[in-house]
A and B are shown apart, each in its own frame.
Chain A
Amino acid sequence: MKNAFDAGVTVARPARAGLLRLPALRIEARTNLIAYLSLLPAFALVAALMWYPLGVALYHSFTEWDGLNSSWVGLQNYRQIVKTGDLRLLLRNNLIFLLSIPGILAISLVVTVLLYEGVAGSRFFRSVYYLPTILSTVVVGFLMKSLFWSQGLVNSLFDTLGLGSGTRDWLGTANTAFMVLILAFYWQTLGQGVLIFLSTLANISTDILDAARLDGAGWSQRLVQIIVPLLRPAILYFSIVNVVWVFVGVFTLVYAVTGGGPAYQTTPMDFMIYLRAFQSDDLGYASALSVILLVIATGVAWAQLRIFDRMETE
């Protein structure tokens, strides 16, 4: 990674004839100045709207704050988060999403391999699989909500097929509500996974795969022994993107499908922060939760990068 990063960087060199007369230091300083000036606007906006607020959140996590007035309460918010069991529940909910990632990874890989066989219609299927991916999460979420509503399509299908005992209020209990949430996630992500893996495979010489096929290796063997190792960077990329999503982006899906219910049992951290901040006017508590989420999210991202680095150097 380090090498990839440094590759292609032009070391500052005196280029203009007029500048050649100036001392080398001067030119380097000028180049550096230009670089810093180029970075300044971008950093200014990011710092103003993303970093500075984190400082505000950190400070206010030790206060009781309604947006207008705040008073210092020390660690009370944190103590309350831990004591009421909120933290455990929220972490569990994020963790469930996290644990669903290997599932969609495996499905995407298998479908990729099947598509790679090149049976009739593969190109068409590939485009079709991508359709749910281009829809917004709001659309996907509400669509799933309508399908799994207690009097909706899924239960009607069960009834029509004479499987009345299979009907239930899917979104009314935590287990099945999570099932629907994860199904929505899978439905939307399969196209993305297939696309990433197929494109990566397209860049790999077909000789290896063809050779394996001629050797008579079964496709499960080919999957495990050849394709997975070849796709390792793509798999890592896919995993990172979705792990980040678990901490950064589940809000929309939960908002659309379950609203966090029943009884907060499908409420992830970001959704609870939203509720606490804007439904309960409890911005201090929300800030404390934000700080915890930030630590976890950056920690997970850092760990992933470390793993990524290590696997690259292996």
Chain B
Amino acid sequence: MTTKAHSIQSRRRVLRAGAGAAAGLALGLPRIRRAGAADVELTMWQMIFPVTDPNDKSKKPEDFWIHQAIKRFEEANPGTSVKLEDPPGAPETFTKYRTASIAKNGPDIFATWSGHYMLDMKQYLEPLDPYVTTEDRARIFGWEAATEGFKPGEGTTYGIPAGTDGVVCFFTNKELLQKAGVDPEAPLPPTFDEFTALLDQIKASGTTPLVLSNQSFVYHTLNYWTAQVVNGAPGLQELIDGKRNFSDPTTLEVARKWATLSNKDWTIPGTPTMEESQAAQLLFAGKAAMITSGAWFIRDARVALGDKLGMVKIPDFNADVTIKDAGVGGPGTVYVVSNYSEKKDAAIALIKHLVSKEEQEKRATANEGALINVNDVDYTTLYNEPLRLQQQQWVSDPAHVIFWPDNVYPFELITEIIQRAQTAWTGDSSPEEFMKQLDQKRDELLGKS
């Protein structure tokens, strides 16, 4: 913040305080006598917790954990009220947060995506190191995703991890797989090439094997295989730093094979314009046999598919990759506090309430959305869903989790990848062009900073 902006800001604060005092006097209210006890209204935006149920639209926001948890906070803290807003989906929400933050007008708390989604907004974020205790660091996991440079203890912490997404895998309609003569309980073929034979087999039974959405087709598959062939996080960093090119043969090979998935016989057409829940509905309707998703998907899928719901890991790109039998995922979500917030202490108090043992137990019992990320809650007794248990076990084994590459890429780079992937997927641009465009954008971003 420049000094100029700062002085305007503080002048505004003075003016506002003056106006408040005048209003208080005019109404004869004693409200402003004790400043500390004044009513506090917190604003929180969230894009990470479910507040609607696609299987039952009549459910109200109050029926979901996040709204209930906030209500409990308000009851425990009289005088504090919280306005919870669910802004439009990503990336519009990031746009909205940036826009609001230019005016210092955003929420006090933003429950958002971790990694670079968060770090690229850091000019608006409050460093949270002073507020985080050693105890917090010990009982909550996922701090690397909330820390600059992904190194807790070295970089500044800008967020408090809000959960873990599990490991992205295929969720299947077991009945349809069986019909195609595929054993729904067995792991999928281990490599991409063998996997395509399976896709043909499913198609032959009259079912389209896959449905992918406009985000998952990049986040869950392209990014996963790219990360695999560059050996995970260090390799991704080399791509970002320009020490490695997207158009290098290994990553180009990924783009090439990935684009073949768009084959009409393998994937329901329309991926680049398919929203996540639309894709889910197509799976639920039996129009496709498999979808890529993470732990947050289980609840709705179970309601819709019942015993037909299956879960298997995504095949490795090839037999040479070092991180095998894995998937993208991990702590993809955080709570952040805006640095222009005038109620930071109350904001932190709310976050601490949300990540507390009591609330995390309630969250685990609610079985909604993503998985919990605290080690003092025994999820094994609280989860009433075997697939969630399985997911929590998968994600606790770091050797088989690749942290969300889209959270590792700079925000503008991942935005570009999503945009360019749309034409690469439909074949309107070649894999070579696609990868070159990414190199060009990356170089542009490097040149700027």
Contact = CB atoms under 8 A, between A and B. Distances in A.
Chain A directly contacts chain B within the complex, with at least one CB pair under 8 Å: yes
8 contacts: A68-B123, A169-B269, A169-B272, A169-B273, A173-B428, A261-B419, A278-B98, A279-B91
Closest 7 CB pairs of A and B: A150-B270, A262-B422, A67-B102, A169-B270, A263-B423, A279-B95, A278-B99
Interface in A166-189: 167-169, 171-174
Nearest to B91: A279
Contact of B422 (A66, A151, A261): A261
B396 interface: no
B428 A174 contact: yes
B415 interface: yes
A142 interface: no
Contact of B270 (A149, A263, A281): A149
A160 interface: no
Interface string B213-239: 000000000000000000000000000
B75 interface: no
Report the contact-size class of chain B (Cβ under 8 Å from the partner): 20 to 34
Interface in B354-410: none
Interface in A141-166: 149-151
A280 B412 contact: yes
Interface string B302-316: 000000000000000
Contacts of B444: 80, 84
Nearest to B6: A68
Given A169-B269, A280-B415, 9 more contacts: A84-B440, A149-B273, A169-B426, A172-B422, A173-B423, A262-B272, A263-B423, A279-B95, A280-B412
Contacts of A94: none
B278 A151 contact: yes
B272 A261 contact: yes
A279 B423 contact: no
B188 interface: no
B186 interface: no
Contacts of A280: 412, 415
Contacts of A151: 268, 270, 278, 282
A281 B98 contact: yes
Contacts of A171: 273
B113 to A, nearest CB: 15
A69 interface: yes
A172 B426 contact: yes
A22 to B, nearest CB: 48
A172 B98 contact: no
B26 interface: no
B419 to A, nearest CB: 5
Contacts of A67: 102
Interface in B271-329: 271-274, 278, 282
B2 interface: yes
A252 interface: no
B420 interface: yes
Contacts of A279: 91, 94-95, 98, 415
Given A68-B1, A68-B102, A262 B428 contact: yes
A281 B120 CA distance: 10
Nearest to A150: B270
Interface of B: 1-2, 5, 91, 94-95, 98-99, 102, 123, 268-274, 278, 282, 412, 415, 419-420, 422-423, 425-426, 428-429, 440, 444, 448
A201 B274 CA distance: 47
Contacts of A66: 102, 123
Contacts of B422: 172, 261-263
Contacts of B420: 263
A202 B261 CA distance: 59
Interface string A83-97: 010000000000000
A174 B2 CA distance: 43
Contacts of A261: 272-273, 419, 422
Contacts of B426: 169, 172-173, 262
A142 B417 CA distance: 25
Nearest to B273: A171
A144 to B, nearest CB: 13
Nearest to A267: B419
Nearest to A255: B92
B440 to A, nearest CB: 8
Contacts of A264: 419
A175 B425 CA distance: 15
Nearest to A148: B273
A169 B94 CA distance: 27
B449 to A, nearest CB: 11
A263 B214 CA distance: 12
A133 interface: no
Contacts of A167: 269
Interface centre among A68, A69, A150, A262 (most CB of B within 10 A): A262
Contact of A263 (B2, B274, B282, B419): B419
Contacts of B282: 151
Given A66-B123, A150-B270, A150-B274, A262 B2 contact: no
A64 B448 CA distance: 9
Contacts of A275: 95
Contacts of A192: none
**Highest count of chain A CB atoms <10 Å: which of B272, B420, B448:** B272
A200 interface: no
A278 B101 CA distance: 10
Nearest to A174: B428
A31 interface: no
A265 interface: yes
Contact of A262 (B415, B419, B448): B419
B5 A168 contact: no
A21 to B, nearest CB: 52
Contacts of A169: 269-273, 426
A166 to B, nearest CB: 12
Given A263-B420, A278-B99, A150 B273 contact: yes
A258 B350 CA distance: 38
Contacts of A263: 419-420, 422-423, 428-429
Nearest to A152: B270
Nearest to A85: B440
A281 B94 CA distance: 11
A2 to B, nearest CB: 45
Contacts of A64: 448
* Of A66, A261, A275, most B-chain CB atoms within 10 Å: A261
A11 to B, nearest CB: 49
